[in-house]
Structure 1
Amino acid sequence: MVDEDRRSALWRAVADAAGTPGQGTWGRSVCRNCVDILDGIDAATVTLRATASAQDMLGASAEWAGLLEDQQYTLGEGPGIQAFTQGTPVLVDDLPAADSRWPIFAEAAQAAGAAAMFAFPLQLGAIALGTLDLYRRTPGALPAGTVAEAATLADLIALALLARADRAEATGQDWLRRTGSYHDVHIATGILAARHSISLADAFVRLRAHAFGRGASVLDSARDVIARRIDVTEPGE
């Protein structure tokens, strides 16, 4: 349990973050505040998730953590995706030892210097928004108190995002950033689906396989499709 004084401090880490909820500046600020306020955490990311093919990273406290978030999206595996799918925290105190669960992601995490990862769903009731993913460079479990605080932070982040969404809907604003986001993936998926007369799901599978095959992110490959620098006619091509 988190007492009221500590909960207030956690809320300030979210409410006092620079920028507007749902925007990149706010996301990065929240992630840095999470690292500052949680013991034993080296990096954090906040990512909106809708489906396996719809993800938008709002912010990361460190570049290497952001790259690992991209890896989860490109590979379609990892603690963050599992936490979002099952709606419960996924706590991995030794990532290299988790290679049987997420073999390619575990290898990517080890190469980036991440030894442990703790993913918490951004969820209020039946509304699931994404995940708060926490990383550390040394293996080991988080103390129970830190786990409780991280789960509370995830709830508060979700609350801030939903409150902003409600205000934006009332005023007709677009509360989510679009420029430079994973919105490009949706556009590229639609282009491939129309071009090759396949479903959106199959188009995304081809895009993801192509990105993995060339060692690129899904986002970069999507932008290449939009710019007509590449075409993806078969998975992995």
Structure 2
Amino acid sequence: MTDHREREIIQAFVDLSNELVDDYDVVEILTRLTTSCTQLLGVDSAGLLLANGRGALHLAASSSDRAHHLEVLQLQRDEGPCLDCFRAGEVVIVPDLAAETERWPQFCRAARDVDFRSVHALPMRLRDTVLGTLGLFGEQAGRLDDEDLALAQALAHVVSVAVVNEKAAADLATINAQLQHALTSRIIVEQAKGVIAQTGDLEMSVAFSVLRRYARDHGRRLSEVASEVVGRQLHGATLLAHARAAAILP
């Protein structure tokens, strides 16, 4: 492991730890997990599915529109490595999706269409409760080495604790409530992204960057800013102007 990569790994855990000290924003934590995976593991995209209180999976975060599309497709078609991972509670490693077309025909076709060739799906769990799955998508065929898999699972463990709140981990009702809160917050964020995308004629991934930058620069929770955008208390044009001032939009 190079000194540079070791510093990046340390920084990722430091950032996650700092987020957990105060009243953290669960949507920001989940998003940070997916982006950290792409930066540290050599994968091209990451997505995260969380289960609600009834055990139904929902998209909670993604690092790209391609990962977003594939995670949603798995839910719609009820097939794919992330669903198998959640149901078995075990890691699912797919070094070459071309060899799995009979197992997941619709998923493999969709993955190929967006240039993904490999998938690693890791369970997010707390004790015996599987909370969801972390999907890692690669443009090249091949398997992550054991060190990278262990790192990905460690990141997922930290975020699992963040989602349910360690102090209340023994209370299944509380776990379900926390999961539902995370999913509800994500829905509001998706709605806000749509408002900003429509206002600024932007792609959804760019709209998310605008929303996230505004929340961070103002020291506010992402879900709260999103709620105000959806409720029209905060206008999309205001966020777009801030993004231009911050030079993330032309």
Q: For 2:111 and 2:158, locate their aligned partners in 1 and report how far apart those are by CA, in whole Å.
A: 27
- 2:178 aligned with 1:178, yes or no? no
CA-CA distance at 1:162 after TM superposition: 1.8
Partner of residue 26, structure 2: 22
Report the more deviating stretch, 125-134 or 47-56: 47-56
Deviations 1:84-138 (A, max 9, x none): 1001100001112111211111111111111000000001221110011101101
TM-score (norm. length: structure 2)? 0.60
Unaligned 5+ segments in structure 2 are 1-6, 189-250
Stretches of structure 1 that go unaligned for 5 or more consecutive residues are 183-237
1:164·1:175 contact (CA, 8 Å) conserved in 2? no
Structure 2 CA distance for partners of 1:17 and 1:119, relative to 1, 3 Å: farther
Number of residue-to-residue matches in the alignment: 175
State the Cα RMSD in Å. Answer: 3.3
Quick one: which amino acid aligns to residue 112 of structure 2? Q
Identity of aligned residues (%): 25
Structure 1's 17 and 60: CA in aligned 2 closer, same or farther, altered over 3 A?
Answer: farther
* Matches for 1:102-117 after TM superposition, within 5 Å: 102-117=104-119
Q: Where does residue 196 of structure 2 map in the other structure?
A: none
The aligned amino acid for 1:175 is: H
CA distance in 1, matches of 2:101, 2:82: 15
Q: Distance in 2 between matches of 1:97 and 1:52?
A: 33
The structure with more helix, counted as a fraction of residues: 2
2:58 matched residue in structure 1: 56
Q: 2:142 aligns with which of 134, 137, 140?
A: 140
Aligned to 2:209: none
Instruction: Give the TM-score, by structure 1 length.
Output: 0.63
Describe the shift of the 1:139–1:63 C-alpha distance in structure 2 as closer, same or farther (beyond 3 A). same
- Give 1:68's match in structure 2, choosing from 51, 67, 70: 70
Please state how far the C-alpha of 1:35 moved relative to its aligned partner: 1.1
Q: 1:122 is aligned with what amino acid?
A: M
- Residue of structure 2 aligned with 1:45, choices 44, 47, 64: 47
Match of residue 150 from structure 1: 152
Distance in 2 separating the partners of 1:126 and 1:46: 19
Match of 1:95 in 2: 97
CA contact (8 A) 1:17 1:30 kept: no
Distance 2:112 2:161 in 1: 33
Are the equivalent residues in 1 in contact too, given 2:61–2:186 (CA < 8 A)? no
- Cα contact 1:165–1:175 (8 A) shared by 2: no
Instruction: Tell me if 1:34 matches 2:40.
Output: no
2-structure distance, mates of 1:93, 1:7? 24
Provide the C-alpha distance between the structure 2 equivalents of 1:67 and 1:76, rounded to a whole number of angstroms: 14
